[in-house]
Chain A
């Protein structure tokens, strides 16, 4: 369902400073699969997630999702693709700190111009599912790290995406909260979502519901 074909990504801040974040990477992910992307800092994990989410474009190669070449999409279509298919849990959560929990979760739905009933129904359902409904009117900035992550997860699920991408989801959590996150992953997996988690947290290694673990180094896959 997700296919990366000969992907390279080069960041060029100026002429003397070129960073090759991904080097001729090819890989496939099947529907319903849960994949771990492992590797040290700077190995290209975030870059790969960002390409799959069409948040950036590869320097060469193609990203194909459900037969659609999303690496070639113009901005407007890339946004539509994201909104229909992708739930992204960012490492820094990327919430708007002064907005309430509820309003942050509503963000992906705003451009859809849904009726109030429908929008509220979606927001309520994910808030309950990820146990954050009791804080719905609180500004996100005054929540704890674990609560903020639950908001980020709820927001990533409010548009009912087929694909969930999580970048270092436990980097800012203690062990107890990390284990809770793993339980959430298990549940999402049981709903047949395709999930890619970039992490170097050993807690994830060897979990029974993980289908594949992929190791990266210096922008390349280790087989």
Chain B
């Protein structure tokens, strides 16, 4: 057996694609578009899932808010000691933060306070607190915040308006780095003392209390105990938050979109096959090849090369376009389907997530369907008696 690649056969296949220009262009457009859509959907979904998981990891296991008369009030920090005394709680700390409405641009910033030696910080906040000068009136801002502020010519500092109407000028010490897009983009970090001043919050109070439980299986039990001891507290566990975050990143609808696209494609292939079948010209060509000594096997190999070349080319093109569309252009239009509308997000960038699995999935959802749709009718023609086809 000769196993060496038959370059003449490949050349013939390429030639054959070039000869049927209109058909080839049409097929390239369809497959490229399909791969592009599928890959875009999967890229966005992956990005969002990645972001979602990272965000969830950074959340406290239990968050406590003080709700009185249906309104959330600042919580008394004396409660921290009492919470720490509860069995199963390994750490509890008060958090000082709030949403600051920036009227000029109609956006919300998340203003977060940190203090020296604080333990319950996300990795990014922890590394920031190491270089932070807690005595200064300065802040670190996320890249998105920096951009928004610059738009209104706040490049060095920003004037916060306090509840009593007076202003507090805070210098921008730097841009906040975080792997979490959500954290990095609408967040402002400064000392707790400054945050209290901006929101007119007293020293004895905090926004909420975050609780860490040493054994994650006990989260529900601990939450229950806290609720019993502090009936006015709203006890929010990570699982509760997970749900609301998943709603925000409504990525499931995107997966349905992908399935829908594949269904349409399959349908299209069937229709196309039924309508065109194999043209009489193509039939005749197969007949000629057989008459000059090609075996059915040779004909099918050639058709396989043809289908393979055009579909792999279109696949690569589609993937390249999807990469550019999702990660360079940030998926205009499509991302609206995936990311629920939220005031809180200033500018959410899709993090670059790439895995072989996604590429293979898109590959197997498109290319084998197309190759089969080409080979099967050709096989039917090639199996006819040659004489009948070329007469």
Which residues of A approach B to under 8 Å, CB–CB? 50, 53, 55-57, 75-76, 79-80, 82-84, 86, 88, 90, 94-96, 98-99, 103, 106-111, 113-114, 116, 119, 155, 159
Give CA–CA (A75, B294) in the complex, Å. Answer: 10
| Residues of chain B lying within 8 A (CB to CB) of residue A114 | 8
The residue from B12, B19, B293, B388 contacting A108, defined by CB atoms under 8 A apart: B293
Task: Determine the distance from Cα of A98 to Cα of B19 in the docked complex, in whole angstroms.
Answer: 7
Assess whether B12 is in contact with A110, with CB atoms less than 8 Å apart: yes
**Secondary structure type dominating chain A contacts:** helix
Q: A50-B387, A111-B295 are in contact. List 20 more A-B contacts (CB 8 A).
A: A55-B385, A55-B387, A76-B297, A79-B290, A79-B296, A80-B295, A83-B292, A84-B293, A86-B293, A88-B291, A90-B291, A94-B291, A96-B285, A109-B8, A110-B9, A111-B9, A111-B298, A114-B8, A116-B7, A119-B8
CA distance A110 to B295 in the complex (A): 11
The number of A-B residue pairs with CB atoms under 8 Å apart is 82
Do residues A75 and B383 form an inter-chain contact, with CB atoms below 8 A?
yes
- Complex interface: chain B residues within 8 A of A109 (CB): 8
Interface footprint category on B: 20 to 34
Decide if A106 touches B291 in the complex (CB within 8 Å): no
Give complex CA distance A80, B292 in Å.
10
6 contacts between A and B (CB under 8 A): A55-B387, A56-B388, A94-B287, A96-B285, A98-B19, A111-B295
Interface secondary structure of B, over-half rule: helix
The listed residue with most B CB atoms (<10 A of its CB), out of A79, A116, A159, is A79
Contact B293 A75 (CB under 8 A): no
Q: Which residues of A contact B297 (CB under 8 A)?
A: 76
- B296 and A111 within 8 A (CB): no
Hey, which chain A residues are within 8 Å of B291, CB to CB? 53, 55, 82, 88, 90, 94
In the bound complex, CA of A147 to CA of B198 (Å): 93
Q: Which of B256-302 contact A (CB under 8 A)?
A: 284-285, 287-298
Within 8 A of A (CB), among B103-125: none
Given known A-B contacts A76-B296, A79-B290, A94-B390, A113 and B4 have beta carbons under 8 A apart: yes
For window 212-246 of B, CB contacts with A under 8 Å fall at none
User: Would A94 and B293 be within 8 Å (CB), given that A55-B385, A55-B386 are in contact?
Assistant: no
